[in-house]
A and B are shown apart, each in its own frame.
Chain A
Amino acid sequence: MNQAQNPISLSLRRVWALSHNTFLELVRLKVFYFLLLFAFLIIGSSLFTVQFSFQNPLQVLKDVGLGAMSIFSWLLGLLCTANLLPKDMEDRTLYTILAKPVSRFEYLQGKLYGVFLLLGLSVLLMSLLFAGVLAIREQQEIAELARNLSPENLPAAVAEIRAATFQMNLLPGIALILLKAMLCSTLTLLLSTLATSSVFTVLTSVVVYLIGHVQGIAREAWLAGGQASPLLKVLVAGMALAFPDLQLFNVVDEIAVGTALPAQLFWQVAGFGGLYILVYFLLAQLVFSTREL
């Protein structure tokens, strides 16, 4: 048997070629620019939104910026991944690729890494814009202080504003936003290997995303026991076992208000996210390896 036809053979060169190609394909999609434009509009417009805020404008600015990054990275990952397999099948590219010495394992990895590259690029671009918006707002606040404070009180107030604007904690928070988007993309890929249409994949992924955010409530209720009916208990247990707890990755809400994220906690969540991605990818591979194409 050809090495590449072995379902789990792996050549990094082939995987890189596939992911590079997938990335270029995705970057050329209109949906990428469309979503990125919307994300930029929301992050940029947060500078004006804060004017409606009732006190604490910096916090609102961060919440809007980080919220936009979170929703658009997820949407981008979802829409791009859901289309990968159906599009390749429709264009017959999938058959051409798999006819070459490329295993399904490599193909699936290449596709997923291509999406990860795209997510990395878009989160990087959004982060740069977010940093720019924060810097503008910081300058506005400092100018306001300079108008109202005496020169001897100004340096301390400026230092306080700077400390409140740029917190190093924001970086691990953004990294977890990216990780969550990557995890959701892997889940979408798994669903896509099971589904026959991209619409079904998109809809199911949205539902999984929503369930993932309330899974924690269900899990805690299940583990606490209580008076629920046996049927409800089975449902809740199933939900807790099958779906990932996406709420664990939502730490930016607290980071935005100044809560410090301990390094150990970050690495725990990041490692757990990595494990989720690995397991869901292996499941996707398991389904895809025997799928009739």
Chain B
Amino acid sequence: MKKALCIVSLLAGFGCFKTVAEHHFLAVQRDAGFQLATLSGQIRTQLGQTGFVAALSGFRALMADLLWIRAGSAFDRTEWPRMQMLLHAATQLQPRAVVFWEMAHFHMAYDAAHSMRLNVRQQPVAALRRVAELEYVQIGEDFLKAGLVFNPESAALWQRLGELYSRRRDDPARAAAAFTEAAKKPGALRFLRRMAAYELAKVPGKEREAYEQLRSLYAEGEQERLPNLVRLLRQLEEKLAVPEASRVYYQLSAPGSNGTQAPR
């Protein structure tokens, strides 16, 4: 009896301490990007009883891979709604895998959306095909935005969001904002700042801002003076009526400059 009491009090005392400590450690781990996955009813449906138990028992990543492989077979059969559910479940199980979000958005916003556009056999009405296409573009965008909640520092996801706004939404303002954000993230590719400026140049009323950005990139040196950038600068200088003396083309053609671009 004495021993039992001793065991129970030791367990209870340690239990109280460890409960508080575990709660604290979980918060610390979540702050560091761990333990972010959520196991919902939809995931249980996709995984089945055994798979769900396995996911609960510490084999979450393996189950996410399994769903990912199943999504691959859905892709082969162009079963887009099924693929969407599988991708959703896989990304929820492994939310820190940037490649999952990236590919999930790509398959929805590009592959599935394009497939909807060409789906003349099942949907002869062009307007309805367009609606279906836009729905999949939206699903792709939602994947990216959800991915960014879990991976806010991912330059790749911000870049994909910028590309989606630029290519699928024709929304240069939001594309420029996304590319600007991408360029600030660790490991960002250099061309992202150029992309942000190119997109900004398309936004009515933002030409001056775009011009300043392009000028600043131009000033960084030869590696930024690409034909597209120089051409756009020239167009903006014309549009904004920049004084001759401060134009890039004027400087390029000025005596002593080493500019190789053809001036006006």
Partner of A67, one of B29, B59, B68, B98: B59
Q: Say how far A36's CB is from chain B's closest CB, in angstroms.
A: 19
Q: Contact at B61–A67, with CB atoms within 8 Å?
A: yes
Q: Contact at A247–B58, with CB atoms within 8 Å?
A: yes
Q: How far is the CA of A166 from the CA of B14 in the complex (A)?
A: 38
Q: Contact at B69–A54, with CB atoms within 8 Å?
A: yes
B68 to chain A: which residues have CB within 8 Å?
53-56, 60
For A255, the closest partner residue in chain B by CB is B34
Q: Contact at B103–A55, with CB atoms within 8 Å?
A: yes
Partner of B29, one of A63, A220, A265, A282: A265
Q: Contact at B19–A240, with CB atoms within 8 Å?
A: yes
Q: Contact at A268–B25, with CB atoms within 8 Å?
A: yes
For A66, the closest partner residue in chain B by CB is B61
A199 touches B (CB below 8 Å): no
Q: How far is the CA of A252 from the CA of B58 in the complex (A)?
A: 10
For A206, the closest partner residue in chain B by CB is B57
Q: Contact at A272–B21, with CB atoms within 8 Å?
A: yes
B159 touches A (CB below 8 Å): no
Q: Say how far A195's CB is from chain B's closest CB, in angstroms.
A: 15
Provide the main secondary structure of the chain B interface.
helix
A213 to chain B: which residues have CB within 8 Å?
56-58
B60 to chain A: which residues have CB within 8 Å?
250, 253
Q: How far is the CA of A290 from the CA of B7 in the complex (A)?
A: 12
A56 to chain B: which residues have CB within 8 Å?
68, 97, 99-100, 103
Q: Contact at B26–A216, with CB atoms within 8 Å?
A: yes
* A-contacting residues, B11-41, CB 8 Å: 11-12, 14-16, 18-19, 21-23, 25-26, 28-29, 32-37
| Interface hit among A80-88, A94-102, A256-264 | A256-264
B28 to chain A: which residues have CB within 8 Å?
265, 268
Q: Contact at B32–A265, with CB atoms within 8 Å?
A: yes
Q: Say how far B143's CB is from chain A's closest CB, in angstroms.
A: 15
A252 to chain B: which residues have CB within 8 Å?
61
- Binary interface profile of B, 238-250, with partner A (CB < 8 Å = 1, else 0)? 0000000000000
B99 to chain A: which residues have CB within 8 Å?
55-56, 59, 257
Q: Say how far B152's CB is from chain A's closest CB, in angstroms.
A: 13
- Binary interface profile of A, 43-75, with partner B (CB < 8 Å = 1, else 0)? 000000000111110011001101100110000
Q: How far is the CA of A192 from the CA of B11 in the complex (A)?
A: 17
Partner of A257, one of B14, B58, B59, B94: B94
Q: How far is the CA of A54 from the CA of B65 in the complex (A)?
A: 9
Q: Say how far B161's CB is from chain A's closest CB, in angstroms.
A: 19
For B53, the closest partner residue in chain A by CB is A210
Q: Contact at B34–A259, with CB atoms within 8 Å?
A: yes
Q: How far is the CA of A21 from the CA of B7 in the complex (A)?
A: 30
Q: How far is the CA of A192 from the CA of B61 in the complex (A)?
A: 31
- Binary interface profile of B, 124-144, with partner A (CB < 8 Å = 1, else 0)? 000000000000000000000
Among A219, A251, A257, A283, max chain B CB count under 10 A is at: A257
Q: Say how far B19's CB is from chain A's closest CB, in angstroms.
A: 5
- Binary interface profile of A, 266-293, with partner B (CB < 8 Å = 1, else 0)? 0011001000100100110011001000
Q: Contact at A257–B21, with CB atoms within 8 Å?
A: no
Q: Say how far B86's CB is from chain A's closest CB, in angstroms.
A: 10
Q: Contact at B98–A257, with CB atoms within 8 Å?
A: yes
B36 to chain A: which residues have CB within 8 Å?
254
Q: Contact at B11–A290, with CB atoms within 8 Å?
A: no
For A241, the closest partner residue in chain B by CB is B15
B72 touches A (CB below 8 Å): yes
B96 touches A (CB below 8 Å): yes
Partner of B61, one of A63, A242, A282, A290: A63
Q: Say how far B60's CB is from chain A's closest CB, in angstroms.
A: 5
Q: Say how far A273's CB is from chain B's closest CB, in angstroms.
A: 11
Q: Contact at A286–B7, with CB atoms within 8 Å?
A: yes
Q: Contact at A254–B26, with CB atoms within 8 Å?
A: no
B71 to chain A: which residues have CB within 8 Å?
54
Q: How far is the CA of A223 from the CA of B21 in the complex (A)?
A: 13
Chain B interfacial positions (CB closer than 8 Å to A): 3, 6-7, 10-12, 14-16, 18-19, 21-23, 25-26, 28-29, 32-37, 53, 56-62, 64-65, 68-69, 71-72, 75, 94, 96-100, 103
Known contacts A67-B62, A70-B58, then 8 further A-B pairs from the complex at CB < 8 Å, ordered by chain A residue: A59-B65, A60-B69, A70-B59, A223-B23, A242-B15, A254-B96, A257-B99, A279-B10
